[in-house]
Amino acid sequence: MNLDSLREKLASWTLMNAPTGFEEPVLTAARDALAPLCDSMMVDVRGNLYAEINGVDSAAPRVMITAHADEIGFMVTSLTNEGFLRFTRLGGPTVSVLPGQRVRLLPEGKPPVEAVIGVKPGHILTGDEAYRVPPVEQMYLDAGAESAQQLTEWGLEPGTPGVFVGELVPTSHPSRVFGKSIDNRAGWLAVLEIAERLSKDRPAGDCVIVLTVEEEIGLRGAAVAAMEAAPDVVIALDTVPSGGTPELSDEELPWTIGAGPLLKVRETSGLSTHGPLRSLFRKTAEEHDIPYQLIIDTAGITDATSAQQASGEIAAVTLGLARRYSHSAVEMLDLRDLAQLIDWTEKTTRKLIDKKQLQRI
């Protein structure tokens, strides 16, 4: 797979601003991208997008391949008389990296407003204060306004969402990039690429491509989506915090970028990957020389956790992409992992030809 093409596509998806609860830009672009690939499409009231690709065998398992649309972000809570904005977090932006970060605020019906999270001047920090990060409740956004009235004129009000600012940046390494919202635009790009392949060469069973909302605040969209789609199999594609950096030991996060996509065996407080499905993915990887990493008990859980509980008839698995600097403005990804994830998921989906494959005993 051409990594330059993947990089360009990922760059376009990461530029979209879609914090949790405000996913419309990504949902709209995804609907347009899927329209020529699918046999039917719908969007539920919650915002989940469903695109159906009909299979060739009605007796084969129905497969849901899913990723989430939302990114971490911010929400304005109040305006000060002096023209600053207090805020809270949407999802889980890492608090320690917030001071000094650029934020793009997204007022309804108005142009975006650029702002920065204020930082006390280093020249007057004293003692331990120089090494402490203030709580979010004490932080503020500075959009350059002179008053609350000016902020209001710009369309800013309590409830206005915002996101980190930053385009996808290629590194000097030919396959590594960093930027905002790699979680989970990389997962979504993988799903879209898989959908394109399946539309050209139909799989055995029906495949429903699902783009979910509100993953970052409790896997909310996926719980609804699995009920609506009624699959036999759920394959969730997401990004996962990575090890391999100086501050992390091999025991803490023993997987890294560039060593292949991830197969989750168990999530800390959620998914336990369906055994026969896990075995099928491993067999496919071995047959096609696809490198992969087994991971257990990661921080965080994925949409597969809520989706598998939608009924007692769902076999679920999470496949992941290692990302450095999780939930910051500059998450880093290796595009080779992304290309391998696409191949792996497509090839394994084609092997799902009989519901008996899902039986544990």
pLDDT at 140: 97
Same domain membership, residue 97 and residue 21: no
Same domain membership, residue 282 and residue 216: yes
Same domain membership, residue 328 and residue 206: yes
pLDDT at 78: 98
User: Strand 63-68 to strand 207-212: parallel, antiparallel, or no bridges (unpaired)?
Assistant: parallel
Closest by Cα among 237, 329, 335 to 17: 329
Burial class (CB in 10 A: 0-12, 13-18, 19+), 350: middle
Tell me what the mean pLDDT of segment 339-350 comes to: 98
Structure-block tokens of residue 197:
């392949």
pLDDT at 312: 72
Tell me what the mean pLDDT of segment 167-171 comes to: 97
Question: Which is higher by pLDDT, 120 or 163?
Answer: 163
Residues in a beta bridge with 73: 90
pLDDT at 350: 98
Domain of 140 in residue numbering reads as 73-164
73-82, 122-131, 224-233, 341-350: range with lowest mean pLDDT: 122-131
- For residue 191, what are the CA distances in angstroms to 30, 34, 108, 290, 319? 10, 10, 29, 18, 11
pLDDT at 268: 73
pLDDT at 298: 67
Structure-block tokens of residue 208:
């429903």
The one-character DSSP state at 255 is -
- For residue 351, what are the CA distances in angstroms to 56, 62, 205, 278? 13, 12, 10, 13
> What distance in Å separates the CA atoms of residue 28 and residue 41, rounded to the nearest whole number?
12
pLDDT band at 153; cut points 50, 70, 90: very high
Same domain membership, residue 40 and residue 121: no
Residue 259 placed within a domain: yes
Which amino acid, 1?
M
Tell me what the mean pLDDT of segment 204-213 comes to: 96
Tell me what the mean pLDDT of segment 181-208 comes to: 97
pTM of the model: 0.94
Does residue 332 surpass a pLDDT of 90?
Answer: yes
Tell me what the mean pLDDT of segment 32-51 comes to: 96
> What distance in Å separates the CA atoms of residue 5 and residue 224, rounded to the nearest whole number?
33
> What distance in Å separates the CA atoms of residue 350 and residue 178, rounded to the nearest whole number?
32
pLDDT at 119: 80
Question: Mutual orientation of helices 182-200 and 3-15 as an angle, nearest 10°?
Answer: 120
Tell me what the mean pLDDT of segment 260-268 comes to: 88
Mean pLDDT of the residues in the chain = 92
Same domain membership, residue 321 and residue 261: yes
Tell me what the mean pLDDT of segment 20-46 comes to: 96
> What distance in Å separates the CA atoms of residue 269 and residue 219, rounded to the nearest whole number?
13
Q: Where are the alpha helices (DSSP H) in the chain?
A: 3-15, 24-34, 148-153, 182-200, 220-229, 275-287, 303-308, 335-350
pLDDT at 75: 98
pLDDT at 123: 63
pLDDT band at 130; cut points 50, 70, 90: low
The one-character DSSP state at 218 is T
Same domain membership, residue 65 and residue 88: no
pLDDT at 217: 74
Residue 249 placed within a domain: yes
Name the domain count of the chain.
2
Estimate the share of the chain in helix, then strand, then coil, as percent rounded to the nearest 5.
30, 25, 40
Residue 30 placed within a domain: yes
Does residue 7 surpass a pLDDT of 90?
Answer: yes
> What distance in Å separates the CA atoms of residue 271 and residue 44, rounded to the nearest whole number?
25
Tell me what the mean pLDDT of segment 290-295 comes to: 96
pLDDT at 218: 67
- pLDDT, one tens digit per residue, over 209-238 is 999 998 877 667 788 888 888 999 999 999
Q: CATH code at 331?
A: 3.40.630.10
Closest by Cα among 273, 297, 291, 286 to 340: 291
Residue 170 placed within a domain: no
- pLDDT, one tens digit per residue, over 302-312 is 767 777 776 77
- For residue 318, what are the CA distances in angstroms to 77, 101, 207, 303? 35, 31, 17, 8
> What distance in Å separates the CA atoms of residue 306 and residue 269, rounded to the nearest whole number?
11
The one-character DSSP state at 109 is T
Same domain membership, residue 139 and residue 185: no
Same domain membership, residue 342 and residue 255: yes
> What distance in Å separates the CA atoms of residue 183 and residue 113, rounded to the nearest whole number?
23
20-34, 114-128, 312-326, 346-360: range with lowest mean pLDDT: 114-128
Does residue 195 surpass a pLDDT of 70?
Answer: yes
Same domain membership, residue 260 and residue 150: no
The residue out of 102, 134, 164 marking a domain boundary is 164
DSSP 168-209: -EE-SSTTEEEETTHHHHHHHHHHHHHHHHHHHS--SS-EEE
